[in-house]
């Protein structure tokens, strides 16, 4: 091979490798994106079915219940406009608390319960996860009722 | 008074940095050696001033001076002294001061260990580092001053985040920053060479040890961060592909690529422009990492209050550094020339492929880390990219890279023969393939992924053995011991570092393949079994710490009726921030870790408990440590020291080794 041909082969190989790598990356990227939705969006059925997503908001006060196995918990995530019941089996993170912000990842069950595979609360005492804060702000902006009336008014 | 002295020292340091960043570079451009000579004393003076500022902040912490805003925000009178001092870098302002302090340490190191460099080169290097420190000092003095006063003084501080009250936290950030900031030296060397137009093999040889030392620190720093997440977050994972972790991993990937590319530039004179680009990239990613982690863009334990002014300043700073150096690169690099030519099948070719794969991996991490931030900034919705993405992308990219890692050291420079390589390596491949298939089968759980992981690890080890045997046979020095000594340290360093990669891969494969995790509810006296071990829960009792109260559980661990160990996980509540913290109990071992963490109390003294059996997990960090040790060994090579001693002689020798450049 002449040096010129060699260079072409090298560049060609590089391009092929680059194309394969980009395809691989973008494909994996597409199928692993996790979208975030607010409880209002869940209630309006704007969420994908059969695919995981994240919800965020506040853990409603005194909504946390524990099943007999000590591991399965139920709680309600609210953006002060709409409420989504959540079921999670496992150990909740240290910073999970009623009346505090939370983000959960999982799928929506057939009965409208969000089945969480992961509950994230990696923030400190005074800090709200931005997703959760965003959900609350959006619901507020949409002209929802003020928070107090909703908490004493379960479905 | 003391904090004001610190503040004043920072202002003086800025003045010195401005001088250091301008006069020597100008002097080098016009050939004025009086101006160039300013660089050394300026760097040392700046170090003393920043050291003074650092001590002043440390003093404020030690003396609980809550009239300093930063001290009040990150410490507390109940906080033990060692954590009060570690709180210096517990949040944004102080970690920038640490950054700056470490930059000045590197500058002093350059001023001492650069006597062999031509004067203009040294002046430019210290000048560029001075410019970087101008940026950081300006940033601190304008929008993030650690010495800002709080009037009236707080009665007590808001305390350090309990997650950070840990011995790991005391050393992890300085280690990581030594790595991050260490790349500023490689960056300064590259920019200085671009400015001076003397981008040659000598340049690569000078910049190699600096790059390797920074890389060693970064390796240890990243590994310590991962270890901290493992034992402190209480989830038992060692890598979450969290944006913060990615921020430290990206400079590591770029730095690894840079080390290998510099090897080619040093030995063969090739890849010059590419090495320069990688040096710019590694440092830019370090800056990006600092920005991502410390600006509040990311939500995690590392992020603190967001201040838009700070964000803007850092963005502008990033744009100036990255943009400026890329413009300089575009202007100067085309004159550099290509260096020695090489065939596709050669050591250069394999190192090139390794570089391309590392950079592709880097690109995919960058995409997964920044894309959600961009979408969010443009208000196009909130998304997150989960670990499955990174796992899916990394495996196919790293597999060929590691395969090449085995062949590369055996291939000749310039041109190697594929059939000859195949013959030399057929036994290595056969042995590692058979072992990789047999071991998991014997352990009773065979999956393709486990075998692939083991294959890669054994392949590295087997090829190293083949290579070692060949080199020892060729080496002079009579006895085996003499031959071992005859091989250069740089070679042994490479061997050790590559062994570290193998150890790391073994650890990852065994953990991913064989770990067992269980979340269970346990009553007092109840026993749970996991991985052959029985865990008996003997209840909890209250324990008082200096600034927390804890429920401490007692677990009796036995295997086949024999007692193995007692484990005491804790659930702590820290008073000041009223924050709950899980303190896992870990029983480490060479072949396995046992891991117990308390969940929540359930009625009647029962607890929800998380039990893990993690085979070989310590090999993950052990592997990183071995990699770093390999780096240290490589730096101790005689040829770098020789280059220091023989000032002028090294230069012509190096240029002779490289092929004439096409310029």
Domain residue spans in chain B?
A: 1-165, 516-616
- Residue B652 in tokens: 């012509």
CA distance A34 to chain B (A): 5
| A91 neighbourhood in chain B, CB within 8 Å | 519, 597, 599-600, 608, 610
Q: What share of chain B is helix, strand, coil (3-state, %, to 5)?
A: 65, 10, 20
User: Phi and psi at residue B458, in whole multiples of 5°?
Assistant: -65, -35
Cis amide leading into B619 (omega within 30): no
Does the beta-carbon distance from A91 to B600 stay under 8 Å? yes
Report the alpha-carbon angle B460-B466-B470, nearest 5: 140
| B389 neighbourhood in chain A, CB within 8 Å | 28-29, 32-33
- Confidence (pLDDT) at B45: 96
pLDDT above 50 for B555: yes
The H or E element that residue B587 is part of is: strand B585-587
Chain B CB within 8 Å of residue A19 CB:
no
Which tens digits make up the pLDDT trace of B344-367? Answer: 788 998 999 999 899 999 999 999
| A66 neighbourhood in chain B, CB within 8 Å | 602
Residues paired with B594 in a beta bridge: B587, B613
Does the beta-carbon distance from A34 to B581 stay under 8 Å? no
- Report which of B275, B414, B409 is spatially closest to residue B348, judged by C-alpha positions: B414
Q: How far apart are CA B621 and CA B588, in angstroms?
A: 12
| B367 neighbourhood in chain A, CB within 8 Å | 25, 29
Q: Give domain limits for chain A.
A: 1-32, 36-151
Q: How far apart are CA B157 and CA B153, in angstroms?
A: 10
| A54 neighbourhood in chain B, CB within 8 Å | 382, 384
CA distance A6 to chain B (A): 8
Least confident of A93-97, B11-15, B214-218, B252-256: A93-97
- What is the topology classification, in CATH, of domain A36-151? OB fold (Dihydrolipoamide Acetyltransferase, E2P) (2.40.50)
| A92 neighbourhood in chain B, CB within 8 Å | 599-600
| B234 neighbourhood in chain A, CB within 8 Å | 94
**CB within 8 Å of B130: residues ≥ 6 apart:** B17, B18, B19, B20, B21, B22, B24, B39, B42, B43, B46, B107
- Confidence (pLDDT) at B467: 94
Chain A CB within 8 Å of residue B528 CB:
no
* Percent of chain B's residues with pLDDT above 90: 62
CB nearest B385 (choices: A6, A24, A32)? A32
CB nearest A94 (choices: B363, B397, B581)? B581
Q: Where do the H-state alpha helices sit in B319-346?
A: 324-332
Residues paired with B583 in a beta bridge: B570
- pLDDT (average), residues B470-496: 87
- pLDDT (average), residues B521-547: 92
* Percent of chain A's residues with pLDDT above 70: 82
- Confidence (pLDDT) at A46: 86
CB nearest A9 (choices: B344, B397, B519)? B344
- Confidence (pLDDT) at B42: 96
Searching chain B, which residue's CA lies closest to the CA of residue A18? B360
Chain A CB within 8 Å of residue B606 CB:
yes
| B161 neighbourhood in chain A, CB within 8 Å | 124
The H or E element that residue B540 is part of is: strand B533-544
- Residue B101 in tokens: 């302090």
User: Rounded mean pLDDT of chain B?
Assistant: 88
- The 10 Å Cβ neighbour count of residue B519 is 17
pLDDT above 50 for A153: no
Q: ipTM above 0.90?
A: no
pLDDT above 60 for B118: yes
Q: Quick check: B601 and B580 in contact, CB under 8 A?
A: no
pLDDT above 70 for A30: yes
Chain B CB within 8 Å of residue A107 CB:
no
- pLDDT (average), residues B360-383: 84
Searching chain B, which residue's CA lies closest to the CA of residue A25? B393
Q: How far apart are CA B372 and CA B348, in angstroms?
A: 37
Report the alpha-carbon angle B539-B541-B544, nearest 5: 155
Beta strand A53-59 pairing with A33-37: parallel
The most confident of B21-35, B147-161, B221-235, by mean pLDDT: B21-35
Searching chain B, which residue's CA lies closest to the CA of residue A56? B382
Q: How far apart are CA B253 and CA B400, in angstroms?
A: 16
Higher pLDDT, B649 or B306: B306
- Confidence (pLDDT) at A136: 73
- Confidence (pLDDT) at B303: 43
| A35 neighbourhood in chain B, CB within 8 Å | 381-383
Residues in chain B: 663
Does the beta-carbon distance from A71 to B363 stay under 8 Å? no
Does the beta-carbon distance from B388 to A32 stay under 8 Å? yes
Confidence class of residue B295 from pLDDT cuts 50, 70 and 90? Answer: low
Chain B CB within 8 Å of residue A54 CB:
yes
Which tens digits make up the pLDDT trace of B437-457? Answer: 999 998 888 899 999 999 999
Beta strand A101-108 pairing with A33-37: unpaired
Confidence class of residue B233 from pLDDT cuts 50, 70 and 90? Answer: confident
- pLDDT (average), residues B622-629: 97
């Amino acid at each position: 091979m002449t040096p010129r041909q060699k260079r072409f082969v090298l560049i060609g190989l590089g391009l092929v490798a680059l194309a394969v790598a980009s395809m691989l990356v973008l494909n994996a990227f597409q199928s692993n994106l996790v979208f975030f939705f607010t409880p209002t969006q869940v209630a309006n059925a704007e969420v994908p079915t059969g695919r995981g997503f994240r919800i965020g908001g506040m853990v409603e006060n005194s909504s946390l219940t524990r099943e007999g196995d000590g591991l399965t918990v139920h709680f309600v995530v609210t953006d002060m406009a709409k409420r989504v019941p959540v079921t999670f089996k496992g150990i909740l993170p240290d910073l999970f608390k009623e009346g505090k912000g939370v983000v959960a990842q999982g799928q929506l069950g057939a009965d409208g319960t969000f089945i969480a595979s992961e509950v994230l609360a990696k923030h400190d005492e005074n800090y709200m996860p931005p997703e959760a804060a965003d959900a609350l702000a959006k619901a507020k902006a949409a002209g929802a009722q003020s928070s107090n009336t909703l908490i004493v008014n379960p479905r | 008074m003391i904090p004001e002295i610190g503040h004043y020292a920072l202002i003086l340091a800025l003045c010195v940095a401005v001088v250091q960043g301008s006069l020597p570079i100008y002097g080098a451009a016009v050939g004025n050696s009086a101006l160039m000579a300013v660089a050394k004393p300026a760097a040392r003076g700046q170090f003393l001033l920043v050291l003074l500022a650092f001590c002043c902040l440390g003093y404020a912490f030690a003396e609980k001076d809550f009239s300093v805003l930063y001290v009040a925000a990150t410490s507390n009178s109940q906080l033990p002294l060692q954590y009060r001092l570690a709180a210096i870098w517990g949040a944004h302002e102080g970690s920038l001061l640490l950054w700056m302090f470490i930059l000045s340490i590197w500058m002093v190191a350059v001023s001492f260990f650069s006597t062999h460099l031509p004067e203009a080169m040294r002046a430019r290097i210290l000048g560029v580092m001075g410019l970087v420190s101008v940026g950081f000092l300006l940033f601190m003095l304008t929008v993030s001053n650690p010495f800002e006063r709080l009037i009236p003084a707080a009665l007590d501080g808001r305390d350090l985040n309990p997650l950070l009250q840990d011995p790991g936290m005391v050393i992890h950030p300085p280690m990581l920053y030594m790595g991050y900031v260490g790349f500023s030296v490689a960056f300064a060397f590259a920019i200085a060479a671009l400015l001076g137009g003397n981008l040659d093999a000598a340049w690569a040889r000078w910049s190699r040890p600096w790059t390797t030392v920074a890389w060693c620190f970064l390796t240890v720093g990243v590994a310590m961060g991962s270890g901290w997440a493992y034992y402190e977050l209480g989830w038992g994972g060692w890598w979450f592909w969290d944006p913060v972790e990615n921020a430290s991993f990206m400079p590591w990937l770029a730095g690894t690529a840079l080390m290998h590319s510099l090897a080619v530039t040093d030995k063969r004179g090739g890849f010059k422009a590419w090495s320069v680009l990688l040096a710019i990239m590694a440092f830019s990613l370090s800056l990006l990492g600092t920005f991502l982690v410390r600006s509040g863009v990311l939500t995690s334990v590392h992020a603190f209050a967001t201040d838009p002014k700070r964000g803007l300043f850092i963005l502008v700073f990033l744009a100036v550094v990255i943009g400026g150096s890329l413009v300089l690169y575009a202007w100067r690099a085309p004159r550099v020339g290509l260096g020695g030519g090489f065939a596709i099948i050669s050591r250069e070719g394999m190192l090139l492929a390794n570089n391309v794969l590392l950079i592709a991996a880097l690109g995919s991490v960058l995409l997964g880390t920044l894309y959600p931030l961009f979408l969010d900034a443009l208000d196009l919705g909130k998304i997150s990219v989960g670990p499955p993405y990174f796992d899916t992308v990394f495996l196919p990219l790293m597999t060929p890279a590691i395969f090449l890692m085995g062949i590369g050291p055996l291939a000749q420079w310039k041109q190697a023969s594929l059939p000859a390589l195949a013959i030399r390596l057929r036994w290595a491949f056969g042995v590692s393939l058979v072992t990789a298939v047999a071991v998991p089968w014997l352990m009773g759980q065979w999956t393709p992924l486990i075998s692939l992981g083991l294959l890669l690890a054994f392949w590295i080890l087997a090829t190293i053995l083949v290579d070692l045997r060949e080199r020892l046979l060729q080496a002079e020095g009579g006895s085996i011991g003499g031959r071992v000594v005859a091989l250069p340290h740089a070679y042994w360093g490479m061997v050790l570092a590559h062994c570290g990669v193998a150890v790391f891969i073994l650890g990852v494969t065994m953990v991913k393949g064989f770990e067992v995790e269980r979340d269970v509810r346990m009553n007092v006296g109840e026993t749970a079994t996991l991985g052959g071990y029985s865990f008996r829960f003997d209840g909890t009792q209250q324990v008082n710490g200096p600034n927390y109260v804890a429920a401490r559980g007692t677990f009796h661990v036995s295997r086949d009726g024999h007692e193995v160990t007692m484990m005491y996980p804790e659930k702590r509540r820290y008073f000041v921030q009223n924050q709950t913290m899980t303190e896992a109990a870990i029983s480490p071992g060479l072949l396995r870790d046992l891991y117990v963490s308390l969940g929540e109390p359930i009625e009647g003294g029962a607890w929800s408990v998380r039990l893990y059996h993690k085979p070989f997990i310590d090999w993950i960090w052990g592997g990183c440590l071995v990699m770093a040790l390999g780096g240290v060994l490589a730096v101790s090579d005689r040829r770098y020291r020789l280059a220091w001693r023989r000032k002028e002689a090294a230069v012509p020798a190096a240029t002779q080794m490289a092929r004439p450049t096409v310029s």
